[in-house]
Structure 1
């Protein structure tokens, strides 16, 4: 069973630890257990409850009213609210609840509804990517279980592959080589980059996850890409990232290298001259508008 500290609940729900303690004392909203050394901890059911409570509270429900509701009533109210709410924040919050509960049907419904409402690209940029950005940091810091992250990643990955298959290359544009470093398995950002590039008429050579350096070298030697694009989320480790960037720059001096990911963005690195850091996926989309010769 997964256990959470009050700080974990704060990071996942957005509710301050002090507020959670007040709610515990005043409304008996949560009943934390304690270790033998008297340190409080929370279980999955506590996390699910507080995520639902946070969503209702953010939408104007008074905590005194929420505290009088049963767990089933709270969950029903949340489902009704997220079905009607059009705000990005509420939709992202609903995805987090679905992830914690491993509720595939609910997760799929939220994504599909938003795709129908505002299109695939906007759903990715405004809801799914911010959602992954949040849980990516939580995963890095150990606040969510890797199984939860794999659960939602595979559901979104399926959507992305279908969307990519629908993009037909008709010639022209620039040539991009996409890959993840050896040991890197977090593929969502790379897949969405592939979708963006193809939808803007560019040629994509997609190598995917965990790509050995020699494979990148071999494909680059044959196809001579204009651009390389990669994402460093967890591999290489933080202390090796600068060396990795320097190596990429030296190996592909004739290519422009676009790079992003937690390990790059969270450090003060010296970026080689032929490399550009993408802070957000929107930056990739914006960068594409500056390129010429697009089919």
Structure 2
């Protein structure tokens, strides 16, 4: 069922504008005319959502709220389009993808994606638009602004784009690099979009990969030790293992997987921020982002030359 009404907290979560500020703007500039429930709680429709997203975009691009509030919806759309045509596309694309998700609008998503593809290329779209969106998606999910249907809908659209571009990646093996990158998610991790994109980035740089996907046990990974190559295992930890269980997870990795002591484990995901105080094995590395990991690869490549 498509969500057609939103609370003021939903508008805050989707637009980034504080609920208190929305109330002030509503009162001072008549920015919205929300319906009220029997208990006097504000409820906003999809038109109000689109308006607040446009207001947020223009306000973030330097327009004064008094000038924005004086515009009707058509004028708002025209002003947003004008800013976007000047090159301020990233924030606008983020807002449009949120709207596509909330309305289960596949056509809008495809239009935003294809426009970004022309302007930024696939890697640019993912790095500058989709990764920031996926980070926000987690916050929207945890705040109950969206439900599991929204999350699955938009995630599968993004995955379709990833898999399509993965098939056409121009993979040219870089013979200077003897590493084999094995990408996996732990048993209770299921969100693999970041890992898929990292696989794409590695392949496009001529790195050899094995993509194993979700729900992998550490015991299953020990079978790769006879590959005769330097093995680099890459994983995301977002939900599980929890920070309390991470030391045990790392210890089990060394016991079950890295028996010869010649493999690395690289870790990304939200749990990385909580791991800063952990004393890690020299072969265990954490990365705050895909970009940081890729930049590290590029730096090491330059040093080798």
TM-score (norm 1): 0.83
State how 1:242-257 maps to structure 2 within 5 Å.
242-253=247-258, 254=261, 255-257=263-265
5+ residue gaps, structure 2: none
CA contact (8 A) 1:160 1:191 kept: yes
Partner residue, 2:171: 168
Q: 2: distance between equivalents of 1:267 and 1:71?
A: 46
Q: 2: distance between equivalents of 1:3 and 1:241?
A: 40
Partner residue, 1:204: 209
- Given candidates 271, 280, 286, the residue that maps to 1:277 is 286
> In the alignment, is residue 102 of structure 1 matched against residue 104 of structure 2?
yes
Q: What does the per-residue CA deviation read over 1:217-255, in whole Å, with 9 as the maximum and x for residues that have no partner?
A: 334555765200011223334543443233324433331
Partner residue, 2:160: 158
Q: What does the per-residue CA deviation read over 1:36-55, in whole Å, with 9 as the maximum and x for residues that have no partner?
A: 66555556554333223322
Partner residue, 1:265: 273
Partner residue, 1:230: 235
Task: Say if 1:272 and 1:99 are closer, same or farther in 2 by CA, change over 3 A.
Answer: same
Instruction: Count how many residue pairs are aligned between Structure 1 and Structure 2.
Output: 295
> In the alignment, is residue 115 of structure 1 matched against residue 124 of structure 2?
no
Task: Say if 1:233 and 1:33 are closer, same or farther in 2 by CA, change over 3 A.
Answer: farther
Q: 1: distance between equivalents of 2:4 and 2:225?
A: 44
Q: 2: distance between equivalents of 1:210 and 1:93?
A: 32
Which of 33-42 and 246-255 deviates more?
A: 33-42
Task: Say if 1:157 and 1:223 are closer, same or farther in 2 by CA, change over 3 A.
Answer: farther
CA contact (8 A) 1:232 1:262 kept: yes
Higher relative contact order by CA 8 Å / sep ≥ 6: 1 or 2? 1
Shift of 1:79: 5.5
Q: What does the per-residue CA deviation read over 1:119-138, in whole Å, with 9 as the maximum and x for residues that have no partner?
A: 22222222221221222233
Partner residue, 1:52: 54
Partner residue, 2:128: 126
Q: What does the per-residue CA deviation read over 1:89-120, in whole Å, with 9 as the maximum and x for residues that have no partner?
A: 33323322322232222222222222222322
CA contact (8 A) 1:138 1:144 kept: yes
Which of 276-285 and 233-242 deviates more?
A: 233-242
CA contact (8 A) 1:91 1:127 kept: yes
CA contact (8 A) 1:178 1:228 kept: yes
Q: 2: distance between equivalents of 1:33 and 1:266?
A: 42
CA contact (8 A) 1:176 1:204 kept: yes
- Given candidates 177, 185, 189, the residue that maps to 1:180 is 185
Partner residue, 2:31: 29
CA contact (8 A) 1:82 1:94 kept: no
CA contact (8 A) 1:249 1:275 kept: no
Q: 1: distance between equivalents of 2:69 and 2:21?
A: 14
CA contact (8 A) 1:178 1:204 kept: yes
